[in-house]
Structure 1
Amino acid sequence: MFEFLRRLRRPPTPIADAVWRDAVDATPWAHALDPQRRERLRELSARFLHEKTISPIGELELGEVQRAQLAALCCLPLLEFGVEGLRGWSQLIVYPEAFRVNRSHTDAAGVLHEWQDELIGESWDAGPLILSWADVLADCEDPRAGFCVAAHEMAHKLDTLDGLLDGTPPLPRPWQRQWARDFQLAYDGFIAEVDSGRETAIDPYAAEAPEEFFAVATEYHFSDPRLLRDTMPDVAAHLQRFYGPSPFA
């Protein structure tokens, strides 16, 4: 623990020019940023690599460029929020592809139900962030398709910074009230649309819970901001203020 704290106090080592260039070339969102914001992302990514342990699972190997790429993707939602968004956790676990987790639930009758979920990402409260490398690469190959698993899971990390996973990250009080009102209205309307059986423009997974609504909307902010603006203008406006303009705006 002493060694870990001492390492955190040291300034981060800058990402080497060649490594950063290759990481940006492999990360469409970083490549699309203006030079000033790209340099900001580079600084945040260096801090990420300094503070977080990146743990590949199984036979997966991640070189310097791949690690910088992961750091850039995770820091993309922090361009406006800042380094405080990295608080409260220390490890990024990377599976080669989608992974299975065991779930259990005891219903009202006291019956225990157990099953397995297949996931491409997960964010533990005060624990690691977990990503599927195959899905990270798929997002980068088609960056405007409405998906960005790293941004989704980082939205959960930001959401929990105030101690609650509820779809509202830490905000100044007046903005927090406005955010909660506008997101709740949009969420309720989206649930009604999903329940009606109509096909939705936004991934219906957003109807699972308020926190998933925020995380899915975050993906669209970065990967299809026009669609988000056309379907949920108030949500899009809040996210643009929170995250800054989408690289694909």
Structure 2
Amino acid sequence: MSWFWPRRKAAAVVIDPGTWRQAAAGLPWLRAIDADRNARLHPLAAEFLQRIAITPLHGLALNEVQRLRLAMLCCLPLLEFGREGLHGWSQLLVYPDAFRVQRSHQDAHGVLHEWDDELIGEAWERGPVILSWADVRADIATPGEGYCVVAHEIAHKLDALDGAMDGTPPLPRDWQKRWASDFQRAYDALCTQVDAGRETAIDAYAAESPEEFFAVCSEYHFSDVATLRSAMPEVAAHLQRFYGPPLLG
């Protein structure tokens, strides 16, 4: 697990303009980006490539353009928050497709339960971000369907920056209070719907925990903001302030 070892500062990354144009052309989120946010994205993506090692696994090969696209996608949620969002991790692991992880849990009676999960993304609180390349590509191909695995996992990384993965990233104190109140109210309402077996406007996985609620709502901000605004206007307003105006209608 080499990402836990200290590394020397890497040389600054210079992104070739032609490579940038080619990478940007393949991302729907950048088709209507304004000049100011595009100017902020460029140094963020360069710093990402400097600080974060992109490691393809299981025979996957990623070319220069694909690596830059991953950096761009990971940095879109940081356009307002800034480079501090890259703090605390140094590796992006990329599987060709969904990947399996072994889980274990000891219940109240001391019985150990073990099982396998199939995942398309994961963010370790003090470790790497892990993505399925097939699912990243699917989100790029159909960007308006409520799914964005990169936004989901980067939301978890932002959430963890204050030392607690609880659905509230680091914020100014007054904003944090309003955020926590509005998110809790929306989360509780969603859990009530799920517990009653009613259909929900957003993915019911958001009811798993407050941190998953934040991450799933972040996906909707980047992929289907109209649904989020209709179902949870207060949450949508907080996320627009946190991430900036949505890049898709």
| TM-score, normalised via structure 1 length | 0.96
**Cα distance in 2 between the residues matched to 1:209 and 1:32:** 33
Amino acid at match of 1:134: A
After superposition, give the CA deviation of every residue in 1:171-205 in whole Å (9 maximum; x if it has no partner). Answer: 00000001000000000000001111111110000
Q: Secondary structure at the match of 1:5?
A: coil
1:204 and 2:169 correspond: no
Task: Measure how far apart 1:206 and its partner are.
Answer: 0.2
Tell me the equivalent position of 2:97.
97
Task: Measure how far apart 1:29 and its partner are.
Answer: 1.0
Task: Measure how far apart 1:30 and its partner are.
Answer: 2.2
Gaps of 5+ in 1: none
Tell me the equivalent position of 1:133.
133
After superposition, give the CA deviation of every residue in 1:34-53 in whole Å (9 maximum; x if it has no partner). Answer: 22212211211111001010
Task: Measure how far apart 1:32 and its partner are.
Answer: 2.8
Aligned residues: 245
Tell me the equivalent position of 2:158.
158
Tell me the equivalent position of 2:235.
235
Tell me the equivalent position of 1:124.
124
Tell me the equivalent position of 1:247.
247
CA-based RMSD: 1.1
**Cα distance in 2 between the residues matched to 1:229 and 1:14:** 38
1:194 and 2:168 correspond: no
**Cα distance in 2 between the residues matched to 1:123 and 1:77:** 15
Gaps of 5+ in 2: none
Tell me the equivalent position of 1:33.
33
- Check the 8 A contact 1:30/1:72 in 2, yes or no: no
Task: Measure how far apart 1:135 and its partner are.
Answer: 0.1
Task: Measure how far apart 1:6 and its partner are.
Answer: 3.1
Tell me the equivalent position of 2:72.
72
Amino acid at match of 1:203: D
**Cα distance in 2 between the residues matched to 1:32 and 1:5:** 37
Amino acid at match of 2:32: A
Task: Measure how far apart 1:101 and its partner are.
Answer: 0.1
| TM-score, normalised via structure 2 length | 0.96
Runs of 4+ deviating beyond 4 Å: none
| Identity score, percent | 62
After superposition, give the CA deviation of every residue in 1:141-167 in whole Å (9 maximum; x if it has no partner). Answer: 000000100000000000000000000
- Check the 8 A contact 1:14/1:43 in 2, yes or no: no
